[in-house]
Chain A
């Protein structure tokens, strides 16, 4: 693929030059090439002239002094500088090692921008020469004149850049990023030949690196594997319970009316748990699917919190818990996905009501400090022992398995919250001082960059 991209690169210039000799874009290439060749020729000429001049001075001196036997030696001394002066200089040695002083190449920049995928043009030695806007989005850390490894450290890519830079053929490297979010990428690295002589020598002028995002493909594969692994493990328990009760109802308890009523109740709650589990697993997968795409539509966190508090007030009333909310005086907005943020606030407030029921109160607040918007949910229940705090967002991690199941928890609520926050490039803070009560804070960033 990289080969194709590279050849596009060259072909684009040809028809343009045929259309009009004055086309500015082709002038950039041709002009530059001529300038380089011209300057090399001048340098050779200058070196040759100095060498001849010096040799003649020596000859004259020797003649004057009458040292005839040295004549022969001097003659051969002339031959050496003359020969070296007009042999072609190694162009590579005259290309500046660091390209920082060079101006941006308009055609190169234009072509990179047209690719619409992250692309970096490197010198043959792997120094960043030009790059496009999508590349800045991915790396953030690109500076002309820096080695590419300052921004991209994947060993296989560095090896490939080295190989292509020294005359190797185009190649493709697939790699995965785990942080900040899982991402699968394919890097295509190809040589850029500006003239036939370079091609023959096997010294490309530049190396083109183009990234292609494979996340949506790989994610779907991973999702299937994870789903099967999680679902089979977690669904087994309620399924085994269901089967046991069905067997009992068909066998020993066939005629026992009171047992049937009790068993059917248990069976219904187990089946309901299974269906919640499937729902949660599916929504977790859906969120993971688009986790590498940060949402950009502005949403109003105050409106989100208001609507969640309204929808959960019946549950709070049922459990004897009062929800108090406080909002900032000014209107706030943050780039986000409304449905997902509703899910975050819903999960946090619902947890507060369920697990902090004994505190009889849940405080929900939205605060804005600098570029950060904090949605925080505080309950006054028994709190969470410190050894569990760092683990709460792991899938199926439960502080107390029995209590969680009894309250209808699937063990996925906070994992979902964490994934939504990761997609928003935000954070989830969990605090629980030893005196009791727990505070969950979702921190969102209003700035579009990191």
Chain B
């Protein structure tokens, strides 16, 4: 936990950095959740709103950067205080990327307008979205509490999202081979799934940052990998 400094304003500076990160996190969670439900319900109006709201995250990121640089210049932080500022910079970067990815999903909802959707496919994306939202919530809670153990759990669990992405990838390929009319729709959905998977990766990045912040050393183990799509092929057989 944060210890008290002789200079009260220094504590306030650090706390307001975390506060801005928490606020960015809340926005990121909301954008991810809403972009996935906009994708599943093909809600154009919601998608447009998400595209607009991403700007708020961007401007918050600039604010965090400015505040962090100012804090370094003014207070010359050392040890855990320095890590605190560096972590805020890193986490805000990841959250900004998460916002972008959610915005990309929303843009695809707009692009998908008017195309038929096989209802069965939605289940996989929904399931993946649920897992990613869970990871994001956990990692942001872990950041607020500076809880390295919880962060480590998030870091270890990313394999689940990768595994489901691999499975979805196979399923979508099968659909495209079944009927070429599915290709347009499935390709968009594939990119959406990839975006969701990338959001999961950013959540693990944040988990790594929390570990570094709390423990002072980077996580060096190889993360369990479940994304096998780079080696997945489906042969054209007789079925």
**Which of B11, B22, B119 touches A153 (beta carbons < 8 Å)?**
B22
B56 to chain A, nearest CB (A): 8
- The verdict on A141 contacting B141 (CB below 8 Å), with A391-B127, A396-B123 known, is yes
Q: Which of B64-72, B132-140, B181-189, B215-223 contacts A (4 or more CB under 8 A)?
A: B132-140
B7 to chain A, nearest CB (A): 13
Max chain B Cβ within 10 angstroms of own Cβ: one of A153, A180, A389: A153
> In whole angstroms, how far apart are the Cα atoms of A337 and B41 in the complex?
33
Q: Is A200's beta carbon under 8 Å from chain B?
A: no
- The verdict on A388 contacting B167 (CB below 8 Å), with A141-B141, A395-B123, A396-B123 known, is yes
A227 to chain B, nearest CB (A): 15
Q: Which of B26-34, B86-94, B190-198, B202-210 contacts A (4 or more CB under 8 A)?
A: B26-34
A170-186 vs B, CB cutoff 8 Å, 1 = contact: the mask equals: 00000000111000000
Q: Is B145's beta carbon under 8 Å from chain A?
A: yes
A417 to chain B, nearest CB (A): 15
B157-170 vs A, CB cutoff 8 Å, 1 = contact: the mask equals: 00010011011101
Residues of B within 8 A of A372 (CB): none
Taking CB atoms and an 8 Å cut-off, the chain B residues in 128-180 that contact chain A are: 130, 133-134, 137, 140-141, 144-145, 160, 163-164, 166-168, 170
Which chain A residue lies CB-closest to B160?
A390
> In whole angstroms, how far apart are the Cα atoms of A180 and B29 in the complex?
14
In the complex, are the beta carbons of A389 and B22 less than 8 A apart? no
**Which of A153, A233, A396 touches B140 (beta carbons < 8 Å)?**
A153
Residues of A within 8 A of B8 (CB): 97-98
- The verdict on A155 contacting B134 (CB below 8 Å), with A149-B23, A391-B164 known, is no
In the complex, are the beta carbons of B11 and A98 less than 8 A apart? yes
- The verdict on A141 contacting B127 (CB below 8 Å), with A98-B12, A155-B23 known, is no
In the complex, are the beta carbons of A147 and B19 less than 8 A apart? yes
In the complex, are the beta carbons of B27 and A149 less than 8 A apart? no
B59 to chain A, nearest CB (A): 13
In the complex, are the beta carbons of A155 and B26 less than 8 A apart? yes
In the complex, are the beta carbons of A141 and B145 less than 8 A apart? yes
A238 to chain B, nearest CB (A): 17
> In whole angstroms, how far apart are the Cα atoms of A387 and B126 in the complex?
17
In the complex, are the beta carbons of B30 and A147 less than 8 A apart? no
- The verdict on A150 contacting B27 (CB below 8 Å), with A97-B12, A179-B130, A397-B123 known, is no
Residues of A within 8 A of B130 (CB): 178-179
How many B residues touch A, CB cutoff 8 Å?
37
Residues of B within 8 A of A266 (CB): none
Q: Is B35's beta carbon under 8 Å from chain A?
A: no
In the complex, are the beta carbons of A154 and B26 less than 8 A apart? yes
- The verdict on A391 contacting B167 (CB below 8 Å), with A155-B26, A179-B134 known, is yes
> In whole angstroms, how far apart are the Cα atoms of A154 and B12 in the complex?
22
In the complex, are the beta carbons of B137 and A179 less than 8 A apart? yes
**Which of B120, B141, B160 touches A396 (beta carbons < 8 Å)?**
B120
Q: Is A158's beta carbon under 8 Å from chain B?
A: yes
Max chain B Cβ within 10 angstroms of own Cβ: one of A147, A180, A388, A395: A147
Residues of A within 8 A of B16 (CB): 147
Residues of A within 8 A of B120 (CB): 396
Q: Is A151's beta carbon under 8 Å from chain B?
A: yes
Which secondary structure dominates chain A's binding surface? loop
Residues of A within 8 A of B170 (CB): 387
- The verdict on A394 contacting B123 (CB below 8 Å), with A155-B26, A179-B133, A179-B137 known, is yes
Which chain A residue lies CB-closest to B147?
A141
> In whole angstroms, how far apart are the Cα atoms of A20 and B27 in the complex?
49
In the complex, are the beta carbons of A390 and B163 less than 8 A apart? yes
Q: Is B18's beta carbon under 8 Å from chain A?
A: yes
Residues of B within 8 A of A155 (CB): 23, 26-27, 30, 56
Q: Is B25's beta carbon under 8 Å from chain A?
A: yes
In the complex, are the beta carbons of B33 and A387 less than 8 A apart? no
B87 to chain A, nearest CB (A): 15
Residues of A within 8 A of B23 (CB): 149, 153, 155, 158
B228 to chain A, nearest CB (A): 9
> In whole angstroms, how far apart are the Cα atoms of A151 and B12 in the complex?
18
Max chain B Cβ within 10 angstroms of own Cβ: one of A146, A154, A155, A394: A155
> In whole angstroms, how far apart are the Cα atoms of A151 and B137 in the complex?
11
Residues of A within 8 A of B126 (CB): 394
Which chain B residue lies CB-closest to A153?
B26
**Which of B22, B30, B127, B168 touches A150 (beta carbons < 8 Å)?**
B22
In the complex, are the beta carbons of A149 and B163 less than 8 A apart? no
Residues of B within 8 A of A389 (CB): 163, 167
Residues of A within 8 A of B137 (CB): 179
In the complex, are the beta carbons of B167 and A390 less than 8 A apart? yes
Taking CB atoms and an 8 Å cut-off, the chain A residues in 47-97 that contact chain B are: 97
Max chain B Cβ within 10 angstroms of own Cβ: one of A98, A146, A178: A178
Taking CB atoms and an 8 Å cut-off, the chain B residues in 75-112 that contact chain A are: none
Taking CB atoms and an 8 Å cut-off, the chain B residues in 13-51 that contact chain A are: 15-16, 18-19, 22-23, 25-27, 29-30, 33
* A-B CB contact pairs (8 Å), 10 listed: A149-B26, A153-B22, A153-B29, A155-B26, A155-B27, A158-B26, A178-B130, A386-B163, A394-B124, A394-B126
8 smallest beta-carbon distances between A and B, as pairs: A153-B26, A149-B22, A390-B164, A150-B144, A179-B134, A147-B19, A394-B123, A390-B163
Give me the interface of B with A, judged by CB distance under 8 Å.
8, 11-12, 15-16, 18-19, 22-23, 25-27, 29-30, 33, 56, 119-120, 123-124, 126-127, 130, 133-134, 137, 140-141, 144-145, 160, 163-164, 166-168, 170
Give me the interface of A with B, judged by CB distance under 8 Å.
97-98, 141, 146-147, 149-155, 158, 178-180, 229, 233, 386-391, 393-397
